[in-house]
Structure formats: structure tokens, C-alpha cells
A = this chain, B = another copy of it.
Amino acid sequence: MAPRTAKSIQEFALIRELKKQFGHQTPGVVQGIGDDAAVIEAVAPIWWHLTTDLLAEGIHFDLKSAAPESIGYRAATANLSDLAAMGAAPRYLLISLAIPKQVSQPQVYGLYRGIMKACRIHGVVLIGGDTSASKTGLFLSMTLLGTTAQHRALFRHGAQVGDQIYVSGTLGDSLAGLRLLAPSTSSRSSEEKPSHLSRSHRQFLIRRHLQPTARVTEGQWLNTGRLASAAIDLSDGLSGDLRHICEESEVGAEVEVDHLPLSPACRAYAKTCGVSPVQFAITGGEDYELLFTASPRSCRTLERQARARGYRITRIGTIRSKEFGIQMTAQGRTQPLPPTSYEHFR
């Protein structure tokens, strides 16, 4: 006669344990895990930024091939990266899990540990969530809250014709790392000889895939310094994400292919595959770098401050009119930027 949705004793035990391990009280948190809702306080006028992701077993992760801690870490990074692209400081986290019978308790705790490992360095506090049984796969839902001052955020819609396009870090590493880890799941060409890759390059690319860095500090710097006119994080890949900025800003873009920042490891890996590393840079996702635009008058300050702070940023193109479309230029030749899918690009 108990309601179908009532929690099991195991679920209550998990919630208690999570509260003990991760749910410490901090200023601003009025009520954390353990009531009908979490309660947080906003004293000064503020903008709240909310991002949420729902990750499905077999779609976003595979418990057979990846460690739970790494799955959690990457899931948290994707959310942190969304807030980084808004220029927000991440603050509070809600985690929900639907757990099938075959998933063990150490696996569940591994997931939480991975999530909190990525979050804790930014001072994010776990304030709530939900747990449920699952008759099928494992599902993970996260909601992350961050803050900025009022009227101070990086949107996708601020890019203007003439603005310069920048990215942080290097591009394509995560995809190369994924292909090294799981060759069967990606469309690898027959010429590929990853055995020719040095151990350090291999390690670098795999780490870039398994432990990506959300550019939280860089995002807040761009935002508070009013240095960027628009921003997005590179989760889908340069081609797809630049398209989002152009759509929301109602502009076009020209990408200078020779400027795309590539790591030596990505170059070396592309060579073993017999393809141009540019393909990885343009279509590879999950790098979690920032893609942003800056007005020409901000560029000098932007680049000077980046150098002073040790942030790697690279100018990769220019915002053009909507009519120009989204093009890439290489060796004087201009052609449409290929869509995200690798198959279309080869």
C-alpha cells in the first residue's frame, strides 16, 4: 500500500551519507539536503545563472568502459563550462540519480566523488537532489547555479560585425583522446596507426578527454573586465558552437584555419590517422574551451591581460555580416565551414 514512488531504505541511507560527505553548511545556504527544498539566500541584487544536464547510460557514458569517478568528473565539467561561458561564478549544485539494480554502491559513490572533485575546486556546494530506482540504465541529472553581478553576463547574442573571434586553449584534443580510448566507437580511418604516437602525446590526449578543464576563471575574467561581446563553451565542437553564436547574434563569421590552436599531441595523432588536425579542431567536441568574440578596440587589452595572467587565448577569425555566412579561409581560399558531422567533412 506504500506509494510506488516512496524511497527505499537504501535511498535514505545514500541521502544521509551524501549529506555527511558533501552537504556541509556554508554561508548563503539556509537549508541544504534534508527538507522539501533547498534554501539559499540572495542578499545583494544579483543575477542567478542556471544550467542543467541529463546524462543517459549508453548515450553519454558507458559504465563498462569508463570509471564512475571519471563519468562524474566529466559531467560536472560540462555544467561548470556552461557557467564559465556566462562568466558566472559557480555556487550550488543539485544532483539526481536513477540507479538500476546492477549498479553497485561503490559505483554510485564514485560518481558523486567525481562530480564533487570537479566542483570543489570552484567552491561549489551540494545543496540537494533526488535519487530513484531505475528499471533500465543509469541516469544522471545535474543542475548547477552560479552568480554574476546584475547586468553583467556573457551571452551568445552580443557579437557584432568586425568583432574578433577567439578561443581559449587548444582544440580537438578531447576527440583525439576519445578515439585513442575507444577506437571502435568512432569512425577511424583504415590508415590510422596510433601505435606511432609517443606515450606522452597519448597520455596528454586521453587526459584532455577524461579530465577536461572548465574555463571558469577565464570566463569570469572576460565578464568582469567587459572584454568579450559574446561567448559560448565548446561542447559540440567549433563548427556547431560558432553557429550558435552567429544565429543568436544574427551575424556571419570567417574562421582563419591556419590560426586554429592545435596541441603538438593532436597534430601528431592526426598524422597517424592520415588526416589534417584541422578536422579535429573544427568538428571535435567536449574540449570545454571558451569561444568568444571581442570588439576590435578591446583586443589589445584582452591579449595583454591574457598574457599577464598566463591564459592561452588565440584569435581565430572575424565576425562578418549575416549574408557572408559562416566560412573558413585557408591558404587564400574561402569555403563554407563544414557542419559538425565528421562524415560530411571527410
Please provide the 8 A-B residue pairs with the shortest distance between their CB atoms, ordered closest to farther: A1-B342, A3-B285, A136-B136, A58-B135, A54-B96, A141-B141, A37-B51, A37-B49
* CB <8 Å contact, A1 and B96: no
Give the contacting residue for A94; candidates B52, B56, B187; CB below 8 A: B52
* CB <8 Å contact, B54 and A130: yes
* CB <8 Å contact, A42 and B42: yes
List 6 extra interface pairs beyond A50-B92, A52-B94, CB under 8 A: A35-B248, A36-B51, A40-B50, A43-B45, A44-B45, A53-B96
Whether a CB of chain B sits under 8 angstroms from the CB of A334 is no
Q: What's the interface size class on A, roughly?
A: 35 or more
* CB <8 Å contact, A175 and B1: yes
Whether a CB of chain B sits under 8 angstroms from the CB of A85 is yes
Whether a CB of chain B sits under 8 angstroms from the CB of A341 is yes
One of A4-12, A191-199, A299-307 contacting the partner: A4-12
Whether a CB of chain B sits under 8 angstroms from the CB of A327 is no
In the assembly, what is the distance between CA of A153 and CA of B47, in Å?
A: 22
* CB <8 Å contact, B143 and A143: yes
Whether a CB of chain B sits under 8 angstroms from the CB of A286 is yes
Chain B residues with Cβ below 8 Å from A272 are none
In the assembly, what is the distance between CA of A51 and CA of B39, in Å?
A: 9
* CB <8 Å contact, B3 and A237: yes
* CB <8 Å contact, B237 and A50: no
* CB <8 Å contact, B1 and A283: yes
Q: Which residue of B lies closest to A7 (CB)?
A: B236
Q: A5-B235, A135-B57 are contacts. A128–B36 as well, Cβ < 8 Å?
A: no
* CB <8 Å contact, B37 and A135: no
Chain B residues with Cβ below 8 Å from A96 are 52-54, 141
Give the contacting residue for A36; candidates B2, B83, B175; CB below 8 A: B83
In the assembly, what is the distance between CA of A78 and CA of B6, in Å?
A: 12
Which A177-225 residues have C-beta < 8 A from chain B?
Answer: 178, 185-187
* CB <8 Å contact, B45 and A42: yes
Whole-angstrom distance between the Cβ of A209 and the nearest chain B Cβ: 10
Chain B residues with Cβ below 8 Å from A178 are 4
Q: Mark A259-290, 1 if CB is under 8 A from B, else 0.
A: 00000000000000000000110011110000
**How many subunits of this chain does the assembly comprise?**
2
Q: A3-B235, A136-B137 are contacts. A86–B49 as well, Cβ < 8 Å?
A: no
* CB <8 Å contact, A36 and B232: yes
Whether a CB of chain B sits under 8 angstroms from the CB of A110 is no
Whole-angstrom distance between the Cβ of A238 and the nearest chain B Cβ: 11
Q: A55-B132, A56-B134 are contacts. A35–B86 as well, Cβ < 8 Å?
A: yes
* CB <8 Å contact, A56 and B139: yes
Chain B residues with Cβ below 8 Å from A31 are 153, 155
Q: Which residue of B lies closest to A144 (CB)?
A: B37
Chain B residues with Cβ below 8 Å from A46 are 41-42
Q: Which residue of B lies closest to A82 (CB)?
A: B36
Q: Which residue of B lies closest to A58 (CB)?
A: B135
Whether a CB of chain B sits under 8 angstroms from the CB of A313 is no
* CB <8 Å contact, A130 and B52: yes
Give the contacting residue for A3; candidates B34, B37, B88, B236; CB below 8 A: B236
Q: Which residue of B lies closest to A83 (CB)?
A: B37
